[in-house]
Structure 1
């Protein structure tokens, strides 16, 4: 209603408190065909007197004074009442009055819960469990993947599936098995080529169309590459990884070498070049995003650091967890795994809902294959929130948006900057809402720095255990200087009589220990590791300066032998072999390129992996068959017709141990961008807003502060002398930090002052006090 003549300025009405509102009898249409009005027996009255006089009038006539409106002068007041008609007041006192009606007003927010019939089955994103992947909260912020293009590298995609067709992108698709642009899968009786279609639906199935469920990035464009349904070559892989790098933002792959616990294999020369071109030139120089499933070889004791796709610094490796927080039997431990999403295993468990062949839906998708496309969809939301993110920015954000939450593993450890990390889960369960929040505020990472240290030049026997230090002082104060680590690689060349018995770990100067490869009992190979590169993400944001320690340990038979080759092999090592067992091992003990051995002495020379040079009485290393000569070499008579001849490249081609450090010259822990982690949401409304929260029980913010389990302490804390106790209270809407001298008896939080809204408060906690932080239960009286 327009302001009556003679009343200047805008004004508003307050809320009627403590007065029942009766419904009037009249119904009438409002202006401009508005819905019929319901009249109430309450009135609004504007009087000319000052606030004091308005209060007296309200008291006299049984009205409630709701105060002055916005912009009112002091000689105006507003009254509301339910029992009188305002005309009973003196006309000179009343400037305006109006009987109140019920107005229809709609919230201008999006109902983020999809109407798809199978969405209630999508337990990992519909808040049926706590915590889920927090997809609804990300959607409620307006991010659905719009403007982002994903491609599934697999066995094809059913492009005409009604839940995929509206989002299908032909430019993000190709068939490299048949060399044509149509990625439609080959159909057979068993549905063998359903894998790619299922992965595509997880990431970008259409929402609110009455079909199946919803993809995480349901407004993104989705394509598919058919490359696994035929002979797979280095060329096929390279072409798939290089498809339309200026158009495709995210490539998702749920495949790799055999997960049998025996193989050590990775991309070829061309595929490696495709990875490098992707991160340097893709997306206009921001870098293509390659998402990779960690593998299903856990049941075979496999380790995904023996997979050259998952242990590449250019890929973002995703692990799996059950809804219960347990690790699946198929889950592979791996130092290169960065984050985790949900999946499932046996048919008795709720599995992943997605699209299936022949225009069908399925709720039986499982394995680590299902985890990677979920992460790809979540990262699509982050790219919509901030399209300027580089491939390294995305990995930084994933580290910070992953939470240990309820994930169960015995190997959780706290790294040098206070983050919890696991070989099974990386940094934890990926949170979509936190990911997009951080993406919105993220400032680009400074250029990548790399420093490589050649830590070993001469051959070394491994024995039962070998420890090798690597000093990084040569990296300090140079153009290669790194303040905050990202990826750490260990490049090794060694021989071993049974490769699977060798466990390799790396310890950083800040004390973090990462297992590069675990024991693999089915790996009986004698090939060792030839110029193989392991990778770990466990040192993220640590300071690399100091001494690193590589440890190689025999976890199998005491008769295992082997050694690191060194980059300058020489015959003199033949005279420094340790004592050998009195009997020869079986003839299959020899490495590839060796002939079977029977003589203990000749066997030892080969099995210790010490590269012989072409000296008198020893065969040429390039020979592929035994020599017929024999000669005294100081160890007694050596029958070289039965000697295992080791084939090695010339000196300098391979190096035993090189440590590669990747990172930035910025102190990433000093960034003031990260919001502390909120409590887990246990219930959301139709708009995705949280209506119930549990007590957080995981690391808080980028400082990695460790909190106690829900429930808080029950006894006084006795800290070291001269230190004050730091008690932390984390509620759904506020964060309270108190510094009180000991002893502090429970509970003493009733008088804690409100300090700052949670989303914008960054805490800095001295490391020596990190064990004195405790979580107190939320108190409604606050």
Structure 2
């Protein structure tokens, strides 16, 4: 049966127009008159001065050079009034040499700048970025230069992200998100009684929670787009890791990860075949060839004497490993040390007081996020600010910049040493506390690094017995040759195979030609 046309009433409904009554205008601001006049005269500058004096006014010169407009002022008249000065206006009206004049009024103008201090209710708790301590991460300086992460896409590889959280939803990017545990596009975390799947939501808020929306605090890069990859809430395989690390590598700029092998002081583990390939492909082909940026938490195994060099994710040359420090400059009990750490951010004020403010499950806020899990997303947000300042930075450029923008400051460690290029470095903090203001300033001016060169040197040509101690020296002059010339040393990778009866007693150290010692394995 054919559908019949509706009654004519439909036509009338379609034409119905509702006009809302306009709100009555508010009272106009009163005009404020000054004791100054702009006057156009038909004579030159000298005659204009005489004309002004004849009428009891002072000529303060031309308004615009070469133009017959002059500034006349009366010192005795009230400086501000709500009405025109009748007498002086009448005199200027009757003066034949005055072609035009106007008594000046105050114009209301506002600076079109955004306040760098967010209005979010918990921003006063964000001690690590609101100038509450000295030094903080210098985020306000980066914001004052106009960098807030705009145009940068960041994703958090974790247990999901509460995408409808009111402090995340405005910045949420579905293209930077996926659920590899359930194989669907929705990264919403699985809710359980203990809220154990809150980790990803907390990390995301640190980096990119919205600002000035009256909710929680502000993310470091509060105008960046943020996504989440749910991959830790289920069986974790090499394939799941590789899928997560390579998700939309032309769309996502920064991958932030606060996980790794067990921090028990015994485990030596790292990426499998697929994840290793994902790191390499991300660095060489991600972001249009500039390289994906992988930010990694160094680990929380300090109490177990763990060493993050035994974590193949943190010590990969393709990741930027981040350590933790307390506000007073002390090393946290959970902090691991290793030569792979490049930089450090805060994780808590003391062991018992306030920690990091961020978003939490069930649309809530928290000020109890801590550990290196809290430090890495702060660094990821700061990297987003640098990428907004200079989108052409490669993954290697960013490592150079992070090193140069990190300061030893008040960070306390017994192993601070000056390396061959004069920079202080520590296994606990890398090159020090990351400074966002300095990072964006250097990023703007950075001209780029030369193409990566690789040089391989074989140190041992035959097996050797370690005994209680074995020292191996090798000549690296081959790397100064014409074809393999290393101008600036960025990474050293040592590959060795050994058998040892008690690996917990094993110590491996690497010493550079200029005397800098890097501990590759410590007693565990």
TM range (shorter): 0.7 to 0.9
Q: 1:82 and 1:357 mapped to 2: Cα distance?
A: 66
Larger radius of gyration: 1
Q: 1:269 and 1:248 mapped to 2: Cα distance?
A: 22
Q: 2:51 and 2:320 mapped to 1: Cα distance?
A: 71
* Paired residues of 2:55 and 2:91 also in contact (CA < 8 A): no
* Paired residues of 1:42 and 1:82 also in contact (CA < 8 A): no
Larger fraction in strand: 1
Q: 1:404 and 1:56 mapped to 2: Cα distance?
A: 67
The match for 2:76 is 83
Measured after TM superposition, the shift of residue 93 of structure 1 is: 6.7
Deviations 1:630-655 (A, max 9, x none): xxxxxxxxxxxxxxxxxxxxxxxxxx
Deviations 1:107-159 (A, max 9, x none): 11112322221122111122222222222222222222222221111111112
The 5-angstrom pairing of residues 358-369 of structure 1 reads: 358-369=362-373
Q: 1:50 and 1:305 mapped to 2: Cα distance?
A: 81
Q: 2:56 and 2:138 mapped to 1: Cα distance?
A: 50
Measured after TM superposition, the shift of residue 372 of structure 1 is: 0.6
The match for 2:115 is 111
- Shift in CA distance, 68/185, structure 1 to aligned 2, threshold 3 Å: same
Q: 1:61 and 1:139 mapped to 2: Cα distance?
A: 52
Does residue 231 of structure 2 align to residue 238 of structure 1? no
* Paired residues of 2:511 and 2:518 also in contact (CA < 8 A): yes
The match for 1:509 is 513
The match for 2:65 is 71
Flag the structure with more relative contact order, 1 or 2, with Cα contacts below 8 A and sequence separation at least 6: 2
Give the TM-score normalised by structure 1. Answer: 0.59
- Shift in CA distance, 495/58, structure 1 to aligned 2, threshold 3 Å: farther
SS of match in other structure, 2:459: strand
The 5-angstrom pairing of residues 194-273 of structure 1 reads: 194-273=198-277
Structure 2: give runs of 5+ residues left out of the alignment.
Answer: 1-26, 78-87
SS of match in other structure, 1:468: coil
SS of match in other structure, 2:454: strand
Larger fraction in helix: 2
Deviations 1:525-563 (A, max 9, x none): xxxxxxxxxxxxxxxxxxxxxxxxxxxxxxxxxxxxxxx
More displaced stretch, 441-450 vs 46-55: 46-55
- Shift in CA distance, 447/77, structure 1 to aligned 2, threshold 3 Å: same
* Paired residues of 1:167 and 1:219 also in contact (CA < 8 A): yes
* Paired residues of 2:510 and 2:520 also in contact (CA < 8 A): yes
Q: 1:113 and 1:417 mapped to 2: Cα distance?
A: 37
Give the TM-score normalised by structure 2. Answer: 0.86
Q: 1:41 and 1:224 mapped to 2: Cα distance?
A: 62
- Say which of 328, 334, 337 aligns to 2:338: 334
- Shift in CA distance, 50/269, structure 1 to aligned 2, threshold 3 Å: same
SS of match in other structure, 2:266: coil
SS of match in other structure, 2:348: coil
Measured after TM superposition, the shift of residue 88 of structure 1 is: 6.4
Q: How many residues align?
A: 487
- Shift in CA distance, 346/123, structure 1 to aligned 2, threshold 3 Å: closer
Does residue 322 of structure 2 align to residue 321 of structure 1? no
SS of match in other structure, 1:516: strand
Measured after TM superposition, the shift of residue 436 of structure 1 is: 1.9
The match for 1:689 is none
Measured after TM superposition, the shift of residue 494 of structure 1 is: 2.2
Measured after TM superposition, the shift of residue 409 of structure 1 is: 2.0
The match for 1:290 is 294
The match for 2:422 is 418
Structure 1: give runs of 5+ residues left out of the alignment.
Answer: 1-32, 521-782
The match for 1:754 is none
Measured after TM superposition, the shift of residue 192 of structure 1 is: 1.0
